[in-house]
Amino acid sequence: MTGGARHAVWQSLTARRAWNDPSAKATSAEGVRVHGADGVARLCATSGLWNVPLGYGNAAVADRVAEALRSASYLSLFRSSHTYAEEAAEALLDITGSERFARVLFSTSGSAANDLTMKLVRQAAALRGRPERTIVVGLHGGYHGLTYGALSLSGDALGQTVYSADRRGVRHVSAVDGGAQLRHLFAREGERIAALVLEPLLGSGAFPLDDDFLAAVAEIRASHDIALVADEVATGFARTGPLFASSRWPVAPDVMVLSKALTNGAAAASAVLVSAEICDLFDRADAVFVHGETQAGTPASCAAILATLSEFVRMDAAALAGRLAARLDGALARIGDHPDVTGVRGAGCFRAIVLSRDGEPLSGEEVAGVVTAVRRAGALVQPGPSCIQLIPAYVYERAELDELETAVLHGIDEAAA
């Protein structure tokens, strides 16, 4: 081991040299603030990892989880079901507001749910009599997680070569060319493609899908027998405006992947909503879907889902998000006047501040320096490609947003200096 203090926890996504900063070690959290080991309570502008939109320490969610742990500490979904999962699944189907989805598969994270989905769409193609359809298409710059399958599907550079991620059954196309690469790919390999997986707004950098690209998606969906998957792990539950961002697509998805805000951060949970058409394929063949996770759909995680959905209604979280988004517009307009800011993008409460220095986009190391400087100024923000990202909880007050604006500007200045 290298010298210095012992670190029992292998800290994710950072090099060993960065592990000694007490400002980056949390001790507790409440509302929209995270308390650090250095004694400072910082504004959280990341909603945890997009997953705490109602603020830290929501009592209703905590109480319902505690009740489930006392009444049924663990129940499995392996070759069985339980009432907690049934109730949560019904609630999730109800909130979609349509008859599009008929069944829910539970998982433990967005990454694991995307792994599950890649298996599901390939088996669905086989059940249609097209076993040769094994390719799954994602987007350049898209992010779907870091488990082995999700890593292959992600279009970011995330060490796929180092980890020998198997990408033989995956293709990536641009989302910023009006669908030209997408059309070309389907003209060349359309008979081998099982599914197209899209984030409505790319999680790495907050790039929205534009109307021209979505029109190409609708065209492809109409002319090819594929499954369309909406990865709403980051965008679901009013993060970008509507309850689900894919509801604005010109064609409805066959599968929708949810996580993050699903439990307000209280449990490791995700859910895959599956269309009636795909469910019918499995039902007619009496086919078994070979997937399961020990901690998927436990009573505690289902209780967290149900409590979070109830709190969304009680708090009118969608309206809170809409008001915060309008205030963010003003703050970002002022931040955009900074000479190192070359633009802002995103939607709703999911925004990116694009940065440059001396006319050149910031490198990953330079962005990390800005993130650190903003943390020293009193706020936590998320790094992105040549940008920092703001994903605040919907319960931000006006004074807290003003404080965040000040911290971001101070951080940009300090990093530049």
Q: How confident is the model at residue 273 (pLDDT cuts 50, 70, 90)?
A: very high
Q: How confident is the model at residue 20 (pLDDT cuts 50, 70, 90)?
A: confident
Q: How confident is the model at residue 2 (pLDDT cuts 50, 70, 90)?
A: low
User: Average pLDDT, stretch 189-212?
Assistant: 95
Question: Is residue 207 predicted with pLDDT exceeding 60?
Answer: yes
- Reported residue count of the chain is 417
Q: Which residues contact 274 (CB under 8 A, 6 or more apart)?
A: 101, 102, 103, 104, 105, 120, 254, 255
Q: Phi/psi of residue 109, each to 5°? A: -165, 165
Percent of the chain with pLDDT over 70: 99
Question: Are residues 416 and 377 in contact, defined by beta-carbon separation less than 8 angstroms?
Answer: no
Q: How far is CA 338 from CA 92, 342, 358, 403, 410, in A?
A: 42, 8, 13, 17, 11
Q: How far is CA 269 from CA 38, 106, 220, 393, in A?
A: 31, 7, 32, 19
Domains of the chain by residue range: 16-57+316-416, 59-315
**HSE of 403 in the Cβ direction (CA atoms, 13 Å)?**
18
Alpha carbons 39 and 350: distance in angstroms, whole number: 28
CATH topology for 16-57+316-416 is Aspartate Aminotransferase, domain 1 (3.90.1150)
Question: Are residues 108 and 233 in contact, defined by beta-carbon separation less than 8 angstroms?
Answer: no
Q: How confident is the model at residue 265 (pLDDT cuts 50, 70, 90)?
A: very high
* pLDDT given for residue 99 in this prediction: 82
User: Which pair of structure tokens corresponds to residue 130?
Assistant: 């097209």
Q: Which residues contact 309 (CB under 8 A, 6 or more apart)?
A: 91, 92, 95
Alpha carbons 291 and 130: distance in angstroms, whole number: 21
Give the DSSP per-residue string, 157-168: -SSTTTTT---T
pLDDT tens-digit map of 306-350: 999 999 999 999 999 999 999 999 999 999 999 999 999 999 999
Q: How confident is the model at residue 17 (pLDDT cuts 50, 70, 90)?
A: confident
Question: Are residues 206 and 171 in contact, defined by beta-carbon separation less than 8 angstroms?
Answer: no
Q: Which residues contact 387 (CB under 8 A, 6 or more apart)?
A: 205, 206, 352, 353, 354, 355, 362, 367
Q: How confident is the model at residue 376 (pLDDT cuts 50, 70, 90)?
A: very high
Q: How confident is the model at residue 3 (pLDDT cuts 50, 70, 90)?
A: low
Q: How far is CA 229 from CA 170, 185, 197, 205, in A?
A: 14, 17, 5, 20
pLDDT tens-digit map of 57-108: 999 999 999 999 999 999 999 999 999 999 999 999 999 976 889 999 999 9
Question: Please, what sign has the CA dihedral across residues 372, 11, 73, 112?
Answer: positive
CA 270 to chain centre: 10
* pLDDT given for residue 357 in this prediction: 93
pTM: 0.96
Q: How confident is the model at residue 204 (pLDDT cuts 50, 70, 90)?
A: confident
User: Average pLDDT, stretch 138-167?
Assistant: 95
Supply the DSSP symbol for 107.
E
- Neighbour-count burial of 159, counting CB atoms closer than 10 A to its CB (0-12 exposed, 13-18 middle, 19+ buried): exposed
Alpha carbons 282 and 338: distance in angstroms, whole number: 55
Question: Is residue 151 predicted with pLDDT exceeding 90?
Answer: yes
* pLDDT given for residue 4 in this prediction: 62
pLDDT tens-digit map of 106-135: 999 999 999 999 999 999 999 999 999 999
Domain 59-315: state its class.
alpha beta
pLDDT tens-digit map of 5-16: 788 999 988 888
Question: Is residue 203 predicted with pLDDT exceeding 90?
Answer: no
What is the average pLDDT value for the chain, to the nearest integer? 96
Three-class SS of residue 143?
Answer: coil
Site of tokens 């399961």 = 292
Supply the DSSP symbol for 208.
E
